[in-house]
Structure 1
Amino acid sequence: MIRLFGRHPYVMSILALSLCLAMFFAGRFTLRAIYWEAHRQEPVAAWMTVGYLGRSWGLDPREIDRLADLPVPNGGPLTLEEIATIRSVPVTQVITEVEAAIAALLAEQAGATKDGKP
């Protein structure tokens, strides 16, 4: 290996860098896969964003926004608590609306799979 590095330093440096990058992205992928496997179908809480809920439940966050009549995020994501503050309603009301939207989307998915559609 040392002889190869001595003969072809640029090629071996590129190979070493490529291996380091591959290990970095493989580790990142593995950690995310483990995290989301453990956080599937999390109960709705005030600290969550619609994007987090969409990822946790495997649903489109914009569909959750549409069904729950939530504002589309403008800039950074908003937590359900922040949405409740903006709308001047209790956070429990927003949570109930989001839970109903999730249930409707899950029922829609279940109906689509029964009909033979993906």
Structure 2
Amino acid sequence: MAHGQRTILRGLAVILRRRPLLSSAFLATAALTFIFGLKAIFYLTYWTDHRQKPIASWMSINHIARVWKVDADALNGALQISDSAMNGVSIARIAQEKGEPVQVIIKQIKSVIEQEHGEPPS
């Protein structure tokens, strides 16, 4: 190890001994910054990738609204759902509750997305 590196390490050791509370606060802040940075990267890659996925029966109204950037109330209106509690329920369950095939519900959702964005979803 070079003389300069040893000097830096000794200086850090002195700071850690003399200011343990300040050092701990700095390390905690650095760790939180790292964690939230990773979370932001994961969030960006997750939602960017999901925009390309076709609408499927496992998706909920909230999920579709977030991925395709449409208003959940507009989707509820197209599906004639008055209860916003259904927003967290899968399309398959909504179709079952309404007694309609899943593909009909998906078609209605795609028409709302096409109206808002001018292009049909995949």
What TM-score range do you get, normalising by the shorter chain?
0.7 to 0.9
- The amino acid that maps onto 2:113 is I
Indicate the SS of the match to 1:74.
helix
In 1, Cα distance between equivalents of 2:52 and 2:80:
21
> Mean Cα displacement is larger for which, 7-16 or 71-80?
71-80
Ranges in structure 1 where 5+ consecutive residues have no aligned partner: 108-118
Identity %: 21
TM-score with structure 1 setting the length: 0.80
Query: In the alignment, does 2:108 pair up with 1:105?
Result: no
In 1, Cα distance between equivalents of 2:32 and 2:77:
39
CA shift at 1:59, angstroms? 1.9
User: Would you say the 8 A contact 1:5–1:12 is kept in 2?
Assistant: yes
Higher fraction of helix: 2
C-alpha distance 50-41 of structure 1, shift in aligned 2 (>3 A):
farther
User: Would you say the 8 A contact 1:42–1:53 is kept in 2?
Assistant: no
CA deviation map 1:59-85 (0-9, x unaligned)? 222222223323443277111001011
2:7 maps to: none
Q: How many residues align?
A: 107
| CA RMSD after TM alignment | 1.8
1:85 maps to: 96
- The amino acid that maps onto 2:97 is I
- The amino acid that maps onto 2:64 is L
Q: Which has the larger radius of gyration?
A: 2
Ranges in structure 2 where 5+ consecutive residues have no aligned partner: 1-11
C-alpha distance 52-75 of structure 1, shift in aligned 2 (>3 A):
closer
In 2, Cα distance between equivalents of 1:66 and 1:75:
12
